[in-house]
Amino acid sequence: MWLDATGPRIGQNPKDLVLSGDGELIAMPSGGGDYIPDNSHPPQKYGTYRYHLNDLDRPVAVIEAGPFPETICFDAKHHRLLT
């Protein structure tokens, strides 16, 4: 494993770093919700941003799971995201 790219600082007491089964999406659930680093990130409260690995600057979605999520799971078979 090596560092290939970085995105904005979003971690606020991060709990996990989750990669989708196909290796295309990544998310980092954080205890207080992800920081909102700039205008390319939609507003959220206790949310977790989901990114394509080839674009860590702009999230593709935000997951509103509530405070202190421990992890999330990408369910590719049923096209769901579990918290």
29-58: pLDDT as tens digits: 988 888 899 999 999 988 999 999 999 999
Helix, strand, coil content of the chain in percent (nearest 5): 0, 30, 70
- Rounded-to-integer distance, Cα 43 and Cα 50, Å: 13
- Contact criterion met (CB below 8 Å) for 40 and 58: yes
Predicted local distance difference test score (pLDDT) of residue 1 = 66
Instruction: Give the pTM.
Output: 0.85
Quote the tokens at residue 21: 């089964």
